[in-house]
Amino acid sequence: MKPAKKTSRRTSHPDLPPYWAQACAQLGQKDRVLRRLIPQLGEHVLSPSCDAFTTLARSMVGQQISVPAARTLWQRLLELLPAPVAAASLPQTQLALDLAPPPTPDEPRIVLPTELLQLRVEDMRAAGLSPRKVDYLLDLARHFASGKLRPHSWATMDDEVIIQQLLPIRGVGRWTAEMFLMFHLLRPNVLPLDDAGLIKGISLNYFSGDPVSRSEAREVAQAWQPWCSVATWYIWRSLEPQPLAP
């Protein structure tokens, strides 16, 4: 799906995507479960994540481990990096690749591909990263640093085209790519059928807890079009009603 058109409609939270209020209104009209969930969970918001490279790198670090463990491991990796550089000192070729300026004290640390490529493998291993995750991170950094990926073009690309660009990177499967579309690019109509939380939420909210197949989940989600990302967010929140950290 192509990126949603911008709308002048305002929402109550500054971090919400511009389409959120419209999506919630339409989902509440079309789906009985969401008509109940959205008012209950309306204060919980989907906030945009960091820059493209940092978002993907952090998702790799967190694969198959708990959230607290992922945060600890990510912090250890950040401690290996040099102090952030000013955006003005970066080469224009890097700035064109959607690299961000250094964070303020309240903002997350942006990681540059070139920074990661300068780290020693043994230091990354000593920080707690498995050999496989080190390989994944370095392959991701090479894809960005070489120009194989062009984040500045993604805003105009269809979802599936972006997914196919990301899948050749080691450690990036379809679920990771779909999470990237939702949390970084804020695409409105992503349906991550490989997500266990979504399937569980559909089971509990629509099938009284009975097992649900992918085809049954897809049938439920037909009523969510073209706002599957928003519907998925509220289904997730119905399981654990607190804001997700990107």
User: What are the structural domains of the chain?
Assistant: 20-47+189-239 (1.10.1670.40), 52-183 (1.10.340.30)
Q: Among the listed ranges 26-30, 52-56, 73-77, 86-90, which one has the minimum average pLDDT value?
A: 86-90
Q: For the chain, what is the mean pLDDT?
A: 84
Rounded CA-CA distance 241/246 in Å is 15
Say how many residues make up the chain.
246
Residue 6 has pLDDT above 60, yes or no: no
Helical ranges in 48-130 per DSSP H? 52-61, 67-79, 92-95, 113-117, 121-126
- State the pLDDT at residue 16: 78
pLDDT tens column, 181-197 = 998 999 999 999 999 89
**The CA-based dihedral angle spanning residues 140, 141, 145, 147, taken in that order and rounded to the nearest 10 degrees:** 10
% of the chain residues with pLDDT over 90? 62
The DSSP element (H or E) to which 40 belongs, if any, is helix 32-40
Q: Are 49 and 110 in contact (CB under 8 A)?
A: no
Q: Is the pTM of this model over 0.95?
A: no
What's the rounded mean pLDDT across residues 97-125? Answer: 74
Higher pLDDT, 14 or 219: 219
% of the chain residues with pLDDT over 70? 80
First to last CA, the chain: 22
pLDDT tens column, 113-162 = 999 999 999 999 999 999 999 999 999 999 999 998 889 899 999 999 99
Q: 107 pLDDT band (50/70/90 cuts)?
A: low
Rounded CA-CA distance 157/165 in Å is 11
- State the pLDDT at residue 245: 44
Rounded CA-CA distance 69/114 in Å is 25
pLDDT tens column, 30-44 = 999 999 999 998 766
Higher pLDDT, 158 or 242: 158
Catalytic residue list: 195
